[in-house]
Structure 1
Amino acid sequence: MIEDMLDFNVNLLELNDDEQVAVYSPFRLSYLIVRSNRLEHLMREIRKINPCITLISEVEANHTSPAFVNRFIEALFFYGALFDSMSDQLADSEVNKKFAESVFYGEPIRNIVAAEGEERTVRHVGIDVWRAFFARFGMLEVELSDACLNEAKLLINNFDCANSCMLRVDGKCFLVGWKGVPIFSVSAWKFVR
C-alpha cells in the first residue's frame, strides 16, 4: 500500500522477466482526474511495466461540467438509474439498500452537485474521454470478443432483472447500464509504442 500515488513506481513490484503482467483498474482512475499529476505519473509507471493487457472499468457519465445545471442533470439520470437498479436487486433488504445509498453514493452525489472548484473531487468522464487520454500514452483499445459479450449476456440472463439490464458494444468496449442509461464501461488496452 502506498499513501500517495506519486510514491508508486515499478521498482515496488516483484516482477520476473519471464512472466506476463495484466493490470486491472476497477473504478479508480476517475478519482485521480482532479489530481492530474498523479494520474499522469501512474500511467507512466504502468507503461514501464508493459502489461500484456490493461482492463479498465469506469463510471460512464460526465460529471465534470463547470455548469451546475449540466452536472445536476447528468447526476440525476446516472444516480436515478443506479438507485433504480439497487431497488430491484435489494428489494428484500431495505437496510442494505439504504446503507449502500448513503455510504457509497451519498458523498459522491453531494460532491458532484454541491462542490465547486478544487473542492469538487468526483469527476467521472465517459469512455470517449478515456480513449483520448489513453491514446496520449500510446495505448490501443483492444476489441472485446463476441465470446465475452455472449458470456456477459448469459450471466445477466440468470437474473430476474435481465430485461432491465443493458449491455451494448461501443466501439471496442462494452457499456453496461440500466433501462437504457449507461452506468459503466469495460474496456481493454495495450501499449503499442
Structure 2
Amino acid sequence: MYRLRNVLDETVIVESPRNKVLNLIRKMNPDVFILGVVNGAYTAPFFITRFREALFHYSTLFDMLETNVPPEIPERMLIERDIFGWEAMNVIACEGAERIERPETYKQWQMRNTRAGLRQLPLNEEIMKTAKERVDTCYHKDFVVDEDNRWLIQGWKGRTVYALSTWVPASLHSDGSHR
C-alpha cells in the first residue's frame, strides 16, 4: 500500500515505470487490485509548486499528530523525524531520480489506471458505512472518511491525505482494445 508514490514517473523517464507497473498488473489479470495512494500534488518538477504542495500536505500530517498523539510518546518523534521529516526533506531538497517521494492525487491515479486498461470497481456500501460510523464514534471530529468517485478517501480537516480504490483488468474486445 502507498508504495507506487516511490516509482519514477514521466518527469524523470519518458517511458513511465508507473505505467509499466500498471500494465504488468493488468496482464497478470488479478481478481482485484487494491490501490492505496498518498494523495499528494507535490510531484511537480518545479520547485515552488512542489514546495507549496508539500507544505500543505506535511502541515496537515503534523497537525493531525499534534492533535491526537501526546508529545511525550516516543513513537511520535520517530514518525515526525524519521518518516514524515525524511519524506519532506526528500521532496524539497532532491531533484530528478534522487527525489524518491513523488505522489500523485487520486484523481491522477484514476486517469493513469484507466489508460492502463484497468476498470474501477464500486466501493462496498457496507464497508463505507462501517468506516464512517467508526470514525464518527471513535476518532477525533476532524478525521474524514468519505467517498469520491469510487474512492474511499481519508483526510484531516477537509484535506484528503490518503485514498483507496479497487480495480480489475478491463475486458478486451476481439480487436484487442479495452472496454
TM-score by length of 1: 0.78
| Gap runs ≥5 in structure 2 | 172-179
Aligned to 2:128: 149
**2:7 pairs with one of 29, 32, 45:** 32
Q: CA deviation at 1:110?
A: 0.7
Q: What is the distance in 2 between the residues matched to 1:66 and 1:44?
A: 24
Q: CA deviation at 1:48?
A: 3.0
| Contact 1:111 1:120 (8 Å CA) reproduced | yes
Aligned to 2:147: 169
| Gap runs ≥5 in structure 1 | 1-25
Aligned to 1:54: 33
1:189 is paired with a residue of what secondary structure? strand
Residues 105 and 172 from structure 1, CA distance in 2 versus in 1: closer, same or farther, beyond 3 angstroms?
A: same
| Contact 2:39 2:105 (8 Å CA) reproduced | yes
What is the percent sequence identity of the aligned residues?
26
1:157 is paired with a residue of what secondary structure? helix
| Contact 2:145 2:153 (8 Å CA) reproduced | yes
Whether 1:73 aligns to 2:52 is: yes
Superposition pairs of residues 91-106 of structure 1, within 5 angstroms: 91=70, 93-106=72-85
Residues 176 and 51 from structure 1, CA distance in 2 versus in 1: closer, same or farther, beyond 3 angstroms?
A: same
Q: What is the distance in 1 between the residues matched to 2:113 and 2:74?
A: 40
Superposition RMSD in Å? 1.9
Aligned to 1:22: none
2:168 is paired with a residue of what secondary structure? strand
Q: What is the distance in 2 between the residues matched to 1:42 and 1:117?
A: 20
Residues 92 and 66 from structure 1, CA distance in 2 versus in 1: closer, same or farther, beyond 3 angstroms?
A: closer
Q: What is the distance in 1 between the residues matched to 2:139 and 2:163?
A: 22
More displaced, 136-145 or 36-45?
36-45
Q: What is the distance in 2 between the residues matched to 1:33 and 1:113?
A: 16
| Contact 2:144 2:158 (8 Å CA) reproduced | yes
Aligned to 1:188: 166
1:66 is paired with a residue of what secondary structure? coil
| Contact 2:19 2:112 (8 Å CA) reproduced | no
| Contact 1:77 1:181 (8 Å CA) reproduced | no
Aligned residues: 167
